């Protein structure tokens, strides 16, 4: 019986290493999702403003898809003291117009979506001006009720985006 226990040790060691490696990779992926970078938001939305400079998340996916439209995708998210601003920009690889969602929560609360195939709300444009490892997103839009939204969101750098469920 002692012989059987010794012959299982290499298998147990391999299994332990495999479990530890999977756990480490899962932790690294989760940590990367939360990686923060310097973010600057300067938006005038309706009668209010959202101005902030601090840490946020900025991601980029060179290959993404929204409603079966192949695109590059960028996201910017800033959150503090009960308010948040989030922008997602899709640049279709077929050359059609960029699509975006912009959500400003706090004072004011405004949500805009120009994503074809989804529920449209508001209108406007968002562009991407790259700079070094990051870039700036100029916004010129209108909310569902016609309230003007303009300004910029700026990221010092981007981390890799991870695929999430959806179309």
Token representation of residue 141: 């839009």
pLDDT of residue 117: 94
- 53 confidence band (pLDDT: 50, 70, 90): very high
Pick left, alpha or beta for residue 26 (phi over 0 → left; psi -120 to 50 → alpha; otherwise beta): alpha
- 128 confidence band (pLDDT: 50, 70, 90): very high
Residues 128-150, mean pLDDT to the nearest whole number: 96
- 20 confidence band (pLDDT: 50, 70, 90): very low
pLDDT in tens, 68-100: 999 999 999 999 989 999 999 999 999 999 999
């Amino acid at each position: 019986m002692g012989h059987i226990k010794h012959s299982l040790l290499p298998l147990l060691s391999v299994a332990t290493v495999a479990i530890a490696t999977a756990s480490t990779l899962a932790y690294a992926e989760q940590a990367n999702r939360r990686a923060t970078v310097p973010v600057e938001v300067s938006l005038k939305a309706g009668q209010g403003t959202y101005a902030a400079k601090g840490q946020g998340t900025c991601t980029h996916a060179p290959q993404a898809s929204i409603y079966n439209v192949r695109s590059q995708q960028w996201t910017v998210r800033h959150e503090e003291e009960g308010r948040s601003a989030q922008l997602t920009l899709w640049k279709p690889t077929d050359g059609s117009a960029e699509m975006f969602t912009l959500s400003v929560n706090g004072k004011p609360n405004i949500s805009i979506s120009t994503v074809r195939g989804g529920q449209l709300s508001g209108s406007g444009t968002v562009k991407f001006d790259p700079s070094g490892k990051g870039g700036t997103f100029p916004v010129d839009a209108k909310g569902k009720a016609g309230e003007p939204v303009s300004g910029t969101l700026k990221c010092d750098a981007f981390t890799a985006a991870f695929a999430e469920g959806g179309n």
